[in-house]
Copies of this chain bind each other. A is one copy, B any other.
Amino acid sequence: MSDKDERSHLVGLGAFIRSQRRLAQLSQRELAKLTKLSDPYVSQLERGLHEPSVRVLRALGSALNIPAETLMGYVGLTDERAAEVDTASAIRQDPKLSDAQKAAMLEIYKGFTDEAGK
C-alpha cells in the first residue's frame, strides 16, 4: 500500500517483458529497433527502473503481440487481473493446424499443466 512499493509492480512488468522478448528470440537491440526505442532504455525497463509511458506500452505490445488487457494488468490500470487468453481454446481455433495436430498439442499442454497444477 505504500507509495514506494508501487514500484514493485514495475519489476513484475520488466520481468514479463524480458521473458516475452526472449521467447520471441529477440535481443534488446532488435526489440529496441522494432519499437523505435533506445536499447539501454529497454534494458532499464526490463529491470523495472522506469514506468513506461502509454506510447511505449503500445509499441511493446504490438512488437511482441501482447494483447492490451495483459499489459493493462501488469501496469495496474485494470483494477484486478482480467481476461487471460486461454491457450487451449487458441489451439482449438487455430486454422493453421489439422485436427490431429491440435490433438497432439492439446495433449502436451495437458501434460504440462496437470503436472504443475497440483
Beyond A68-B77, A101-B112, 17 additional contacts (C-beta under 8 Å) are: A22-B99, A23-B92, A23-B103, A23-B106, A24-B92, A54-B54, A54-B75, A58-B77, A68-B72, A68-B79, A68-B82, A84-B94, A85-B90, A89-B90, A104-B108, A105-B105, A108-B108
A66 nearest CB across to chain B (Å): 7
A2 smallest CB distance to B (angstroms): 14
Contact between B105 and A108, CB atoms less than 8 A apart: yes
Among residues 93 to 118 in chain A, which have CB atoms less than 8 Å away from a CB atom of chain B?
93-99, 101-106, 108-109, 112-113, 116-117
Number of interface residues of A (CB under 8 A): 56
A interface majority secondary structure: helix
Copy tally for this chain in the complex stands at: 2
CB of A46, distance to nearest CB on chain B (Å): 14
Q: Looking at A6, A67, A70, A76, which has the most chain B CB atoms within 10 Å of its CB? A: A67
Whether B82 and A67, one on each chain, are in contact in the complex, defined by CB atoms closer than 8 angstroms, is: yes
Please indicate the chain B residues that have their CB under 8 angstroms from the CB of A88 in the complex. 65
Task: Give the Cβ gap from A42 to chain B, nearest Cβ, in Å.
Answer: 18
